[in-house]
Structure 1
Amino acid sequence: MGITLAVIATLAIAVPTAIISSIAPPKHARVLTPAVLPVIPKAVMPPVEPVSLAAITPDDARAINATVPFTAAPVPAAKPFRLTDAPLGSLRAIDCLATAVLYEAGDDPIGQRAVAQVVLNRVRHPAFPKTICGVVFQGSERRTGCQFTFACDGALIRHSWNDAAWDRARAVAREALSGKVFAKVGYATHYHTDWVVPYWSASLDKVSAVGTHLFFRWTGWWGTPPAFNRQIASEEPAIGQLARFSPVHSIGLYPFASQLAATRAERLAALLAAAYAGPGPIAGDDNAFLVTIDRDADPEGLPRLAEAGCGDRPYCKYMVWAERYALPTALPLDPSQVATMAFSYLRDRSRGFEKALWNCDQFPRADRKQCMKVQTFVPGAQLADRESKGPVTPSPVGEKITRASAANPLPEASAIPPQKPVPTPPTP
């Protein structure tokens, strides 16, 4: 009886293996079967192997891929990913992610969303780089070994997409970086098209198919949601390969603004404004923006960011802080929030008024007229009353003036005629 059971067990393993072998491609192609899946323990970081493909025909690859079953385990959706970088970092992340989805999935929004989700999953996983651009261009410093082949096979030099396709890819990237989840791929960290067979494909759990792409996650603990809890880095690197497509990737690689040729500086300013996808207006006031920036951001670019954020609004207030902890979430502002403001921009086209001012303690200016004035503050009990009256008169304290209100920080109280009160946002 024992011998009979042993024979049956042997056949149960040998027969499926023989079937898979009969379908397999030529002997030079290495193919792993589900029977040899390694499970990497939690104490060992899984290796991120370079892309290496079995030398087989597309038809053989499809036959092999079809023999690998989808996992029977649950495939939970990833948590929403929301990028909180400063404007320059956000723009770089958007363009890196847009490049990845466009070159990996073509001008296909569904495939692009699936690829974007894999990139975000990798950023959250400790086995990969901590930035969007770092993940997309991982291995690009080598001739071989890129995680995304377009990053090291010359595709970015040989080919570029039309503006409409680029805009659509950037829209997919912005959505993914703003919390939109592509649930079907779950926590997948790998994928490939069905006409190739990477050597790692049978060592991972196959979770889903989207079009011609197959998606995989690591086996064991490293493929579960708790493994994707890594804190990402706050700054995105400048990628030289993208400088010709993305002006934000030329900043830091080449001399900025004043040292650029006039035509390049103008193009950079125009594209920065067109590309800027900063935060929307605050709740309750479509004309007011509260924004945080990187403390190392170039102060010369702030007016362009403000103008791009305000768009074509005839009236707009754009207020910037360089410290994330100091960023207000609503109006009115309290005195400490006004005092820590790094930059302010006010536009009121009905009065022909437009002005940008810097906090010169944070961003020194050669022209002191561009500096915010020193302020005095009104006790909280009187603040609401002042907010309803628009601009206020200079305080009795010598050269110091008080802004029109903490909720409506004007560049200078005397810049707007007192007979036309400046609109203030409703109290949230």
Structure 2
Amino acid sequence: MKLFVCQECRQIVFFENTFCGQCSRRLGFCSESVNMLALDPGGDDPAAPASGPAAGDWLPVAGREGGPPRFFCANAGHNVCNWLLPEGSSGTGSPDNSSPENSSTGTFCIACRHNHVIPDLAKEGNQERWAKLEQAKHRLFYSLLRLKLPLKTRAEDPQGGLVFNFPDDPPDGDPSQKVMTGHDEGVITIALREADDVEREKMRVEMGEHYRTLLGHFRHEVGHYYWNVLVRDAGNAEACRAVFGDDTQDYGAALQTHYENGPPAGWQDSYVSAYATTHAWEDFAETWAHYLHIVDTLETAVSYGIAVDPSVVRDDSLTLHFEFDPYEAGSFDQIIQAWLPLTLAVNSLNRSMGQPDLYPFIITPAIANKLHFIHRLVHHLPLS
């Protein structure tokens, strides 16, 4: 994630900010430019303060000499979104998060128009949980926009468009009826309990995972969606099988085998996680998630001008200044060469604070080859 700046006062601002801490200008994220915009109240209420509510129209301060007004996503009214509608949208219509067919009303931003089922906001604590889910989802969409990946709603593609459901578990507490996080032909379900830090940590320990995060869930599940779009539907299945294995194997049987027997011995040599050993689909989705982890974290390092130059190393094998755009990198070699020194540094920083490693994974040559495939796939490069 890159750093942003307020166009009014040049103060650094961050992706989730809604106001500038220096000049109090309203901030909105523009999906077209993938940038944060400082805003002045528009013509609907010229007397409104710059730090006022998200309702009404707004004008970017960088274009005071003219330009169309901008409107906030309807979900800004729930304090779960700070994105602007695409330029030219009027912001009119009846916002309705309950149906993907309503994504064409012009009231939702590029990210929120993919929502289908949101939490019951009448239930205590659900608004806060939804806000956590949306924060992770919007960070996912930042990466998808930076990579210029196709994004179709259910209204645009009724059979396979991308849809998000955030349901709660049934109130009766029956374990067999718990909501399962997963993907099904474009429908991504993230169980609401995943937004509860205690519950998520409990599941992480029970399932023996290195870590379990909301953003990781979104990145993994959208990997299944893009397997459909970029592999299956784009005619790249054979090339993908040559790297990730046979996806035609029975998925249900593979899942049962994994939960009964665990990962095979020596899995760390070829798979980025134990869950990736389950099936070729899960290997692809786990590797896809790690690709997004890597490029986005590297972009953060670049934004801060981070350099790694350990004084105790005799050669320059771990010396690196992060000065390239990982989202635009032509070769994955450049990305992976930067990733090793950065992870050594940040893992050591975490240990100094008594925290687990930020990135507790090892990228072997076999795993790097799979990441190379993902890089070529998202950048439309030859796959072999």
Q: TM-score, normalised by structure 1?
A: 0.20
Structure with bigger RCO (C-alpha 8 Å, 6+ apart): 1
Greater Rg over alpha carbons, structure: 1
Q: TM-score, normalised by structure 2?
A: 0.22
